Amino acid sequence: MSSIKKIVLAYSGGLDTSVAIKWLGDKYHAKIVTCTVDLGQGEDFKFIGEKALKVGAENHYTIDAKDEFAKNYIFPSIKANGLYEGKYPISTSLGRPLIAKKLVEVAHKEGADAVAHGCTGKGNDQLRIETSTKALDPNLTVLAPTRNWGMSRDQEVEYANKHGIPVSKAAKKYSIDQNLWGRSIESGPLENPWNAPEDDVWEWTMSPEEAPKKPTVMEITFKGGAPVAIDGKKLDPVSLIEHVNRVAGENGVGRIDHMEDRIVGIKSRETYECPAAVTILEAHKDLEKLILNRRELTFKRLVDEQWSFMVYAGLWDDPLREDLDAFIDKTSERMDGKVKVKLYKGSMIVVGRESPYSVYDFKTATYDSSSTFDQTLSNGFVPLWGLQTVVSRKVMSKMSKKK
């Protein structure tokens, strides 16, 4: 007999986690408490909660974590220019450690001994939820029923029908995960990397062809590296992200289609719609180029890449992520300013930037006669700069003559 008496299950309302309520309850003779975390996925949470109780949960929690998600997860990611493999704004990845945190909180409140999730054994989400849960409370057992029950989708439907678990009629064409920072769409016809995404993949973005004929210019104000206002209007973090999602999405900005390397080794074709992320990250990176110096920028790119990798790989709660944040927060102290972006038929370009801490100096940069830059200094600088290149080439040509 297992010693597990109460399990807190991360519940989405979908087939896997609905089946898991019944399956876990039967297998462990345990009470099931379900928990749905609202990260801005825009679902019917009342319906989801009622479904959980109907299927057999003893208690259900709906936790609105949008504000915490925006402030403590998305904003740090903006400061870190969070992108995996240069393309993916780690939107799903960022949400998972927060879900784990909430599961642990509910487990403590409920006196539960285990936490369960519906992640498959093929993806990254299992790494994120399990590692964060264990990092926050090593005494909790983590259960991953979908990884172990060995049921195919058809068998799951059969199981659901047998136990009176409602199954939605609409056959699912894609596997979708969404939150404030983006929408992840995978599987189905997308599993052939040659197939262009069909129109039904996209929900947050206009097709660039049908987007407005007139460009939208938007000004994003940053304070300490975080976006705080749009077109001069102060907005709270959640509203700001929602606003940019809407405006950029209307202009067809934010569609991503790329080949991704999952941590388990699978190469997968992934599509995303992240209008706000694409826009804000590009603006932030541009502002950094105005404010940070060359040495800081070069080093920060390494830090950013490591930070993004750690978040993608489920290591949010590793101390290294916080160590990197210390560096990122330090560079972000000067990151005040404004960036002007132009959104037009699927394209997003930065067309202006300004900051009180700008390192750009018109006086040295200008080509007009008022420039204070003493060009004659380059008479000495250029030969020194190229010194090793010239010598190396000389040596190499000697060598090739010998051969």
List contacts with ligand ARG (CB under 6 A). 92-93, 123-125, 175-177, 184, 186, 260, 270
C-alpha distances in angstroms, 361 versus 138, 153, 346, 354, 365?
53, 62, 33, 12, 6
> Which of 18, 38, 93, 96 is an active site residue?
96
Cβ closest to ligand ARG, residue 179 vs residue 355: 179
**Is 340 exposed, middle or buried (CB count within 10 Å of its CB: 0-12, 13-18, 19+)?**
middle
Residue among 72 and 175 whose Cβ is closer to ligand ARG: 175
Least distance CB 75 / ligand ARG (angstroms): 19
Q: Which of 203/236 has CB closer to ligand ARG?
A: 203
Q: Which of 62, 64, 85, 89 is nearest to 75 (CA)?
A: 89
Eight-state DSSP code of residue 190: G
Nearer to ligand ARG, 77 or 184 (CB): 184
- Please state the length of the chain: 403
The residues, ordered by sequence, that sit 6+ positions from 312 with a Cβ below 8 Å of its Cβ are 84, 88, 90, 93, 124, 263
Cα 256 from Cα 181, distance rounded (Å): 13
The answer to whether 37 touches 102, Cβ cutoff 8 Å, is: yes
7: tokens are 């399990």
10 Å Cβ neighbour count for 23? 22
Q: Is 200 a catalytic residue?
A: no
Q: Quick check: is 397 catalytic?
A: no
Output the smallest distance, CB 129 to ligand ARG, in A.
11
Active-site hit among 137, 147, 175, 187 = 175
Tokens linked to 255: 């569609």
The residue among 122 and 223 lying less far from ligand ARG, judged by its C-beta, is 122
Indicate which residue of 38, 125, 317, 336 is catalytic.
125
Yes or no: say if 32 and 21 are a contact pair by the CB < 8 Å rule.
yes
CB of residue 112 to ligand ARG, shortest distance in Å: 24
Beta strands in 198-305 (DSSP E): 216-223, 226-230, 233-234, 255-261, 267-273
Contacts of 229 (CB under 8 A, 6+ apart): 220, 221, 235, 240
* 17 versus 332: smaller Cβ distance to ligand ARG: 17
Measured from the CB atom, is 25 or 275 closer to ligand ARG?
275
Q: 249 exposed, middle or buried (CB, 10 Å; 0-12, 13-18, 19+)?
A: buried
**Consecutive H or E run containing 291:** helix 275-291
| Residue 96 a catalytic site member | yes
Residue whose tokens read 């995960």: 177
Task: State in angstroms the smallest separation of the CB of 316 from ligand ARG.
Answer: 12
318 catalytic? Reply is no
Query: How many angstroms separate the CA atoms of 107 and 100, rounded?
Result: 10
Residues assigned a catalytic role: 16, 96, 125, 175
